Amino acid sequence: MDGQRRGGRGYNSGPGRNPPGAPPPPPPKSLNQEPIDREKTCPLLLRVFTKVGGHHSNEEFSVRGKEPKDEVQIYTWKDATLRELTDLVKEVAPEARRRDATLSFAFVYPSKTGRLVVREVGRTSSVPNPRRPDDSKLALRDVDFEIGDYLDVAIL
């Protein structure tokens, strides 16, 4: 990966991943923000690309207009959780409906140098399981989503 364009929370940050003696990470931003009124706020267009077995490579997104063919366009809001997005992906991708499926979410965006970066931001289980906690409650804004980012979903 080419590095992050912003200093937000990625998949590899969080409890148990801080250096010894460092303060705990801040609470998710959504806990400090007002909820979005979905009746009054216009949704954004999120381009979602799915792939079974792993994420697309950044090279697959390098030519504008020639992105991967397995695209779904979703109108949503920045407070949409990974659980909401999981349920939407399950509607269009039969492989995501498997009881044992795990969905890995990654943003695709240009780095400061202009190269595209694929950065994993969270994972969910197809079927919620309290014994296997996941990132279902994370919202797009919690993981520094910016309008224009693509969402790449690996179905594992």
- At 9-28, the pLDDT tens digits run 444 444 444 455 656 555 55
123 neighbors 104 (Cβ within 8 angstroms): yes
In percent, how much of the chain has pLDDT > 90? 74
Written as six digits, the tokens of 43 are 């949704």
Overall pTM > 0.75:
yes
DSSP string, 106-130: EEEEE-TTS-EEEEEEEEEESS--T
Q: Is 59 contained in some domain?
A: yes
pLDDT in tens, the chain (156 residues): 445 555 444 444 444 444 556 565 555 555 557 789 999 999 999 999 999 999 999 999 999 999 999 999 999 999 999 999 999 999 999 999 999 999 999 999 999 998 999 999 999 999 998 898 999 999 999 999 999 999 999 999
Q: What is the pLDDT of residue 4?
A: 52
Structural domain for 124, as ranges: 38-155
Q: How far apart are the first and last CA of the chain?
A: 21
Tally of domains in the chain: 1
In percent, how much of the chain has pLDDT > 70? 79
Q: Cα–Cα distance between 67 and 7 in angstroms, integer?
A: 27
Q: Is 12 contained in some domain?
A: no
Please report, for the domain that includes residue 83, its CATH number: 3.10.20.550
Q: Which one, of 59, 60, 125, lies nearest residue 96 by Cα?
A: 125
Q: Is 29 contained in some domain?
A: no
